[in-house]
Amino acid sequence: MFATRPNLTRDLIIAAAALIVLLLLPYVWPSRMINDLVIRVSAFALFATSLNLLVGYTGMVSFGHGMFFGFGAYAFGLSMQRLGVSIPTAILITIVSSALLGLVVGAISIRLKDIYFSFITLAFQMLLYSTVIAWVPLTGGDQGLMGGIPRPPFLGIDLSIESHRYAFAVTLVVIGLLAMRQIVESPFGYTLRMIRDNTERATFLGINVFRAKLTAFVIAGVFGALGGMVMALFVSGAYPEFVNWTMSGEGIFMIMLGGLSTFIGPAAGAVILSLLNDVITRGTEHHGLVLGAVILLFALGLRKGVTDFIADWFRVRREASSRSGG
Amino acid sequence: MTRNRADLDRRTVLKGAAAGAAATIFAPNIVAAQSKVVRIGMPTILSGRVAQLGTSSRNAIQMEVEKINAAGGLAGRQIEMVIRDSKGQPQEAARVARELVNSDGCEILLDAEASSGSFAVQEVAKDLGVLVMHTNSETSSLTADPKIRIPLAFRSCRQGIHDAVVSGAYAAEIAKAKKINRWGTCSPDYAYGRDNTQLFVEYLKHFYPQAEVTTEAWPKLFQPDYTEVITRVLQSKPQALYSALWGGDLTSWVDQANIYALFSQMEVFAINMADYTVLTAVKNLPKGIHSATRYIKTYPNTKANAAWGDEYRARFKEYPTNWSWENWVGIHFIAEGAKKANSADGKKIAEAMRGLKIDCPFGADGTVTMRAEDQTVINYAIGWGATISGEPYVPEVTGANWDTILQLEAEWKKRNNYT
């Protein structure tokens, strides 16, 4: 899968550079608030980018992706609280169980198209949400997983220490984004784009569309769950809100704000939405109104995400320079 | 040319916006620990369905902090409250609480969250090592369970187990007198509703073993239409009905049950009825609904309590709520703790608060105590009475016996391996 491809070296360099910058950030700019923001954005960036694998690359608009975010948070939290396993084991359990969830939900959902697909994913999410609310002995119901998630040290990493938690989150997000980048740039990624653009053509070319879509759904689910896991580590708990439909909505907003035509768009959207949320809730109780207005502006006024504009700007400039050069 | 100009303009605007945003977020809040002011961070719910309770918490805190500051603040340092909305979401409560400490320089947290948020804030306090006063979370395990309890966390409100004992004892008295053996329950279907109802039934049977639950109805939280549950209860004809519905749900339920004349067919015990938010919102308040006191200015029937209720009403044009008095208790414990420790340092205040007894308009005997062993408040006023249709709404309240509460609470803790 990791065969050499053009731009792989470039992506690796960018990832390494991003990782170094993020790891050095607390030393250059020591602020717990920035650390917190980066950790939360890491969680959302994994979540939004994984959703974009479906929305942007495969053309499957899932309204239920928050189910994986919440599932990841609960799977990780419960493994740590109930099973008392080590953190790497809990991560493994989270990955495997969310892949299984993706397999089951995906196998049923992707038989449906367009709005029907969107709604059945939403239905599955609400099913999980209701289960979390109702299964009080296991999940704590509406109160969430109480009493904190234990964070025993492993391999010299102690996630109860803030700096370790920070380094862990940024490393995970960089590796996660790099892996997803590798996936969308691989032949499989181009298959997904072809399915998005013309499903019939893909079928005629001998592609098993169902299997390709299902694979994408499972991969997206796993990365979405990893995002939820980072969030669970940050708040040291898991709450029903993570599984609620509003979480899926936020994922869609992030993609809209950041832009779905670039790979990094949803991650940028995660940054923007988190910043907007933090700034607006500081200033007013009517945050819903302000946030809604901003999103409306993007959806109706700009009709593109921020990174789409940047990408356009680069393209125009490149074309202009090639024209003047030629 | 025009296009370039447009680009330039948009860039300028974007840059300006970015710079503005950056300035707002990253502006350094220079707050030295030793400055004159001591900041207390207060995450609470100021938007959404329970915003009224969050607002009433904020109101009470504003009113009391002014008084405490006028009397010298915390060991000579004036209190400055930083109050933020958590939208009722635990992860937002955690984020806001962290931000209040890390970026706004708050040295103490006053956690005015509902229960799920309070557990999230507890984790933040544990992580950052700051003093936290939970003012609204009534979930007993927050302070009762040693696995959850932390040395710097206190609770200044009622809790579920106390409520259950008092309710069971009161309901049993009436059951004995009127020979009420067949009981029904109708409570919201989520953790609070289930826990509360199960504990009530347990203590009802403890005091009156003949009691038997023949009907259970579990409407959804925030359900708009209760016709189905009301008719089901009516058909099964229990002699009495217990309900843990609250807020707008309880109001709707009472209004709808009125149509079916439910209140004339059985004794109704609605634990969350006697709070002004509900009492004043019901269209025709039926006579004789039994309720525990949440906040009511006539109980305890003292001048101090009535004066406080009136003062609050004069200022905010509405009566205080259950959460209002609980926040009063929280902030005054911190103030008295600081006075005793002669310091505004969170750890010293915590030390001083353990076992502290303070004068309080909402105390059963004019005082409340911060029990040392689990850092939760006891001896607050609590009782049950029956409603009338207008003020004072619950004219006669039977006060609880705190010796019974404490004894049964101790047994409950033992049963749950909390000791």
Q: Where are the domains of chain A?
A: 8-251
Statement to judge: residues B192 and B148 lie in one domain: no
Is residue B359 less than 8 Å (CB to CB) from chain A? no
Statement to judge: residues B79 and B172 lie in one domain: no
Statement to judge: residues B147 and B166 lie in one domain: no
Instruction: Give the angle A185-A213-A267 at the CA atoms, nearest 5°.
Output: 50
Statement to judge: residues B312 and B191 lie in one domain: no
Please tell me which residue of chain B has the smallest CA distance to A276.
Answer: B21
Whether B65 is in a domain gets the answer: yes
Is residue B102 less than 8 Å (CB to CB) from chain A? yes
Please tell me which residue of chain A has the smallest CA distance to B83.
Answer: A282
Q: Would the CB atoms of A40 and B95 count as touching at under 8 Å?
A: yes
Whether B55 is in a domain gets the answer: yes
Nearest to A146 among B7, B99, B141 (CB): B141
pLDDT(A135) > 60:
yes
Q: What is the DSSP letter of A241?
A: G
- Give the model confidence (pLDDT) of A15-64 as tens digits: 999 999 999 988 888 888 888 889 999 999 999 999 999 999 999 999 99
Q: Would the CB atoms of A285 and B25 count as touching at under 8 Å?
A: no
CA–CA dist B340, B125 (Å, integer): 23
Statement to judge: residues B187 and B64 lie in one domain: no
Nearest to A275 among B21, B51, B116 (CB): B21
pLDDT value of position A84:
85
Please tell me which residue of chain A has the smallest CA distance to B47.
Answer: A285
- Give the model confidence (pLDDT) of A266-319 as tens digits: 999 999 999 988 888 887 778 888 888 888 888 787 778 888 888 888 888 888
**Confidence band, pLDDT 50/70/90 cuts, at residue A325:** low
**Confidence band, pLDDT 50/70/90 cuts, at residue A146:** confident
Whether B290 is in a domain gets the answer: yes
Percentage of chain A modeled with pLDDT above 70? 98
Statement to judge: residues B391 and B354 lie in one domain: no
User: What CATH number has the domain bearing residue B262?
Assistant: 3.40.50.2300
- Provide the total of helices (H) and of strands (E) in chain A, helices listed first: 14, 0
pLDDT value of position B28:
42
Statement to judge: residues B249 and B139 lie in one domain: no
pLDDT(A326) > 50:
no
Q: Would the CB atoms of B47 and A143 count as touching at under 8 Å?
A: no
Percentage of chain B modeled with pLDDT above 90? 73
- Give the model confidence (pLDDT) of B304-362 as tens digits: 999 999 999 999 999 999 999 999 999 999 999 999 999 999 999 999 999 999 999 99
Q: Would the CB atoms of B102 and A279 count as touching at under 8 Å?
A: no
Whether B220 is in a domain gets the answer: yes
Amino acid at A19: L
Instruction: Give the angle A256-A270-B125 at the CA atoms, nearest 5°.
Output: 145
Whether B405 is in a domain gets the answer: yes
pTM, full prediction: 0.83
pLDDT(B20) > 80:
no
Statement to judge: residues B88 and B217 lie in one domain: no
- Give the model confidence (pLDDT) of B273-308 as tens digits: 999 989 988 888 999 999 999 999 998 999 999 999
pLDDT(B416) > 50:
yes
Cβ pair A229, A88 in contact under 8 A = no
Arithmetic mean of pLDDT, A140-158: 84
Instruction: Give the angle B161-B165-B169 at the CA atoms, nearest 5°.
Output: 170
- Separation in Å, CA of A9 to nearest CA in chain B: 32
CA–CA dist B108, B106 (Å, integer): 6
pLDDT(B12) > 80:
no
pLDDT(B29) > 50:
no
Statement to judge: residues B180 and B270 lie in one domain: yes
Range of the domain at B82: 37-159+303-378
- How many domains, chain B? 2
Q: What is the DSSP letter of A264?
A: S
**Confidence band, pLDDT 50/70/90 cuts, at residue A66:** very high
ipTM of the complex: 0.79
- Separation in Å, CA of A237 to nearest CA in chain B: 7
When scoring A142, A230, A233, A289 by the number of chain B Cβ atoms within 10 A, the one with the most, hence best to mutate, is A142
User: Does A213 or B148 have the greater pLDDT score?
Assistant: A213
Whether B31 is in a domain gets the answer: no
Arithmetic mean of pLDDT, B218-246: 92
- Give the model confidence (pLDDT) of B115-136 as tens digits: 878 988 998 999 899 999 999 9
Beta bridge partners of B377: B370
Beta bridge partners of B419: none
CA–CA dist A180, B176 (Å, integer): 68
**Confidence band, pLDDT 50/70/90 cuts, at residue B23:** very low
User: Does B20 or B89 have the greater pLDDT score?
Assistant: B89
CA–CA dist B264, B78 (Å, integer): 54
- Separation in Å, CA of B132 to nearest CA in chain A: 15
Statement to judge: residues B234 and B344 lie in one domain: no
Statement to judge: residues B255 and B289 lie in one domain: yes
Statement to judge: residues B51 and B177 lie in one domain: no
pLDDT(A116) > 70:
yes
Whether B238 is in a domain gets the answer: yes
- Alpha carbons within 13 A on the beta-carbon side of B99: 24
Q: Would the CB atoms of B94 and A241 count as touching at under 8 Å?
A: no
Whether B4 is in a domain gets the answer: no
